[in-house]
Structure 1
Amino acid sequence: MNLRESVIEKVLSGCPNLECLELDSVWGIHRLEISSVKLRKLIIKKYEDESNDIWFEILVPYVHNLQLLGSCNSISLRNVASLVTAVLYVDFDLGDGDEFRKKECSCLKELLHSVAHVENLDLGPWCIEGLSILELKGWQPSPSSRKFLKLNAAIVQLDFPGLCSFLQSSSDLETLVIDWHNPEPRAFGFLMNFEGRELHLLFSFAHRGLLSRYTNEDEQSRRFKTHNFNGSLLHLKTIKVFNFDGSLSGNKSVLQLVKYLLKNATVLEKFVIAAKFEGSDESQDYVKMAQDFQSFPRSSLHASVVFSY
């Protein structure tokens, strides 16, 4: 929809009790300011603009739940102090070339800094991929107060340094939930609710092109093993993995991730992994995985590890 700021103002003034506003395929505005005290949830699905040089400013001082979904140009969040939940399922498609990539990194840093205070954070695949690109460039995420973190991504070994760095900035995190099922890793069309303060990661193992331009699997493996990613996850008590899928030979990187979590979650109480069972061919792999998971050292003496299929 082609909107002007005055149109939004008229809609809100005519609906004084409106609590949720969803805008789909927005273009034609560069600033969205909503001062309604009643509006608590704002969803923007795809923002387009012919110019890549102008930022789309969003000022929503009373909104509690903000969801940015789909392909977007540059978005800047201003005055979002009331946010409790932020969903950043965006893909900044600003073009090719180094200058565009610098701007994409700048956009991601801006967004992550703006939502460092939220309790519930949901990141899409593009954001996850960007974390490791930023980490390669020496960027460190701001310390956060998030208790729930959801990551939807096709996580591969390339992602580990950025992911671990981001987890270290989430020192108040309480629960980690991993949903491994992701038939279309780049598509979206679902949202999780944030009850239970969980961290949800959606994993699959498709290779991602943007990050591979900066590094490769071998280099990231060396970085993961040699870099100091030993910051303790001081409040992480529960880790749940659902819909795990695939053979051990194709998912060796999951062993590294599980080792990392068990080593650094110092007050962990429960680590549950529920795999999808699609045939007897996978059963031997799952038995071996279960044995490996049980044998991994853990920093919490109270942590139980359960693998089911």
Structure 2
Amino acid sequence: MDESGLTQQPKKQKLNEELDIVDRNIKCLNNLPEEILRYILSLLPTRDAIRTSILCKRILFMNYVERVLLLRDSTDIKRFSLSCQVLYDACHVSAWISTAVRRNVQKLYLSLYHFEEPFSLPPSLFKCMTLTELELEIYGIPKLPPTICFTNLKSLTIRYVTFSDEYLTQKLFSGLPILEELELEYCKWVNIKVVSISAPKLLYIGITEDTENQNDEKGCQVMISGVSLNIFYYSGEFYNEYRVYNSSSLRQRQVAHRMYILLTGFYRVKELILADSALKKVILSNNPSIEVVELLPHMPVFKNLEHLAFDESLVNLDSVALLKILQKSPCLKTMEFYGEINLSSDYERNDRILDPVPPCFLSQLNCIEVCNYEGDEKELSAVKILLKNAVVLDKMVITCSHHFAKDFEKLKKVHEQLLKLPRGSKHCELVFDLNLS
């Protein structure tokens, strides 16, 4: 047997054992907390510290980034790109981003993964006035700040982000006054029903949906203001609903949604006065927008409402929203129309608009007041419908407008017409007030 072979085998075995020891030491070093690693490196001479850092790539990477960002001069940063695992270094990553913002960064590209959710990006990022281009590739749920306004951002790309807070998500997509390009790639909307992307100068939007990871079965309704939109790109399976609007229709949807939310909070009140402005345009229209129609089936029951008034509004009695409110107010006792009461142009065919008759008309409604009465045919038809269907009505008070009160011949004629109208309630008193004061 060759003796050289016997000599080489123990040497090789010894070398393998030494390598195993080194490998175990490296693993132990990597598993140490960051504070301890930094402390160990601070005790070593510079040359040895560098050699040791090579064994621990995470510390080497962090030292390099911090040396570049924190120890260099204060010149502006035009472009900053960061791609890394966050792990337990969230505070350092946040500090690096904040430093780039302080250095007036113009183009920022972030790809962050392996972090504890929700990950907090620095609030200063979302108020950066110099940023013109931003890419956020975040594999998870970022924590957004309450104040968001990208005053100079023209291009925004968001990838792999999971949006879970409806209010803050809406803030993000409303703070884009000069945005021209928007890319949403593989993003998810969790527990979010509606979000509006309001960017008046938006020219291009590209949406790529994740076809495998859609957690919310109902999906999200994404509304896009398309005043200047030229190009719309979409790739996916339509898990979510996307709509493009001009600014006026988007505003109408927002008003309708906010008004609906407001009304749902009033389901316990006893007295409700609905005023003019947006109400007249959105809720009391005889031809409501699709936004209003979509919300009506979800209207709550106003189980305690006894008094309903319309303040200085032109009210169409055949408004589907008004009819829905009446159907949902079983205990309503009094109604007041401070403005004008009217019907749509095809008023002659609206004799059965209260079909089915609201429950309150059959058991509770005992007083109706109509102000600013002008005596035209549409008003007369509206009053006729109310008198006919309010079967327990005790009194209807009709007050003429100042202009109408001066025309005595017309007053007499209208008064006679009113007295001839059929009444569902046998004991209903009709009061005709000339309003001469």
Q: TM-score, normalised by structure 2?
A: 0.37
Counterpart of 1:108 in structure 2: which amino acid? M
Is 2:301 the counterpart of 1:164?
Answer: no
Once the two structures are TM-superposed, the CA of residue 142 in structure 1 deviates from its matched residue by 2.1
Question: Structure 2 regions of 5+ residues with no counterpart?
Answer: 1-145, 148-167, 173-195, 197-245
1:128–1:153 contact (8 Å) kept in structure 2: no
1:7-18 alignment runs, 5 A limit = none
Could you give the per-residue CA deviations for residues 129-171 of structure 1, whole angstroms, max 9, x where no partner exists?
3224266447243221211112124325486333233223222
| DSSP-derived class of the 1:53 partner | helix
Task: State which of 141, 156, 175 in structure 1 corresponds to 2:334.
Answer: 175
What is the root-mean-square deviation of aligned Cα atoms in Å? 3.7
Q: Distance in 1 between matches of 2:415 and 2:292?
A: 32
Could you give the per-residue CA deviations for residues 86-124 of structure 1, whole angstroms, max 9, x where no partner exists?
xxxxxxxxx924333222221111111111111111111
Aligned to 1:148: 307
Once the two structures are TM-superposed, the CA of residue 272 in structure 1 deviates from its matched residue by 1.8
1:220-231 alignment runs, 5 A limit = 221=347, 224-225=350-351, 227=353, 228=355, 230-231=357-358
Q: Distance in 2 between matches of 1:176 and 1:253?
A: 19
1:152–1:203 contact (8 Å) kept in structure 2: no
Q: TM-score, normalised by structure 1?
A: 0.50
Going from structure 1 to structure 2, the CA distance change for 1:298 and 1:280 (only over 3 Å counts) comes to closer
Aligned to 1:103: 254
Counterpart of 2:258 in structure 1: which amino acid? C
Q: Distance in 1 between matches of 2:169 and 2:345?
A: 34
In proportion to residue count, which structure has more helix?
2
Counterpart of 1:109 in structure 2: which amino acid? Y
Is 2:433 the counterpart of 1:304?
Answer: no
Task: State which of 268, 278, 293 in structure 2 corresponds to 1:117.
Answer: 268
Going from structure 1 to structure 2, the CA distance change for 1:156 and 1:147 (only over 3 Å counts) comes to closer
Could you give the per-residue CA deviations for residues 32-89 of structure 1, whole angstroms, max 9, x where no partner exists?
xxxxxxxxxxxxxxxxxxx99349xxxxxxxxxxxxxxxxxx9xxxxxxxxxxxxxxx
Task: State which of 231, 255, 269 in structure 1 corresponds to 2:380.
Answer: 255
Q: Distance in 1 between matches of 2:261 and 2:412?
A: 44
1:161–1:224 contact (8 Å) kept in structure 2: no
Going from structure 1 to structure 2, the CA distance change for 1:157 and 1:279 (only over 3 Å counts) comes to closer
Q: Distance in 1 between matches of 2:391 and 2:427?
A: 9
Q: Distance in 1 between matches of 2:330 and 2:394?
A: 16
Query: What is the total number of aligned residue pairs between the two structures?
Result: 187
Going from structure 1 to structure 2, the CA distance change for 1:265 and 1:280 (only over 3 Å counts) comes to closer
Task: State which of 110, 129, 152 in structure 1 corresponds to 2:281.
Answer: 129
Q: Distance in 2 between matches of 1:287 and 1:262?
A: 20
1:164–1:229 contact (8 Å) kept in structure 2: no
Counterpart of 1:110 in structure 2: which amino acid? I
Going from structure 1 to structure 2, the CA distance change for 1:305 and 1:139 (only over 3 Å counts) comes to same
Q: Give the number of the structure whose alpha-carbon radius of gyration is greater.
A: 2
Identity of aligned residues (%): 22
Could you give the per-residue CA deviations for residues 264-309 of structure 1, whole angstroms, max 9, x where no partner exists?
2221111122324558862122222212221111111111112132
1:129–1:159 contact (8 Å) kept in structure 2: no
2:397–2:431 contact (8 Å) kept in structure 1: yes
Q: Which has the higher contact order (CA 8 A, sep 6+)?
A: 1
Aligned to 2:390: 265
Question: Structure 1 regions of 5+ residues with no counterpart?
Answer: 1-28, 31-50, 56-73, 75-94, 180-201, 206-215
Counterpart of 1:230 in structure 2: which amino acid? V
1:56-95 alignment runs, 5 A limit = none
Q: Distance in 2 between matches of 1:52 and 1:103?
A: 15
Q: Distance in 1 between matches of 2:311 and 2:401?
A: 18
| DSSP-derived class of the 1:230 partner | coil
Is 2:210 the counterpart of 1:53?
Answer: no
Q: Distance in 1 between matches of 2:403 and 2:419?
A: 23
Aligned to 1:203: 340
Counterpart of 1:270 in structure 2: which amino acid? K
Counterpart of 2:296 in structure 1: which amino acid? W
Is 2:377 the counterpart of 1:240?
Answer: no
Could you give the per-residue CA deviations for residues 213-234 of structure 1, whole angstroms, max 9, x where no partner exists?
xxx9446x48845653522422
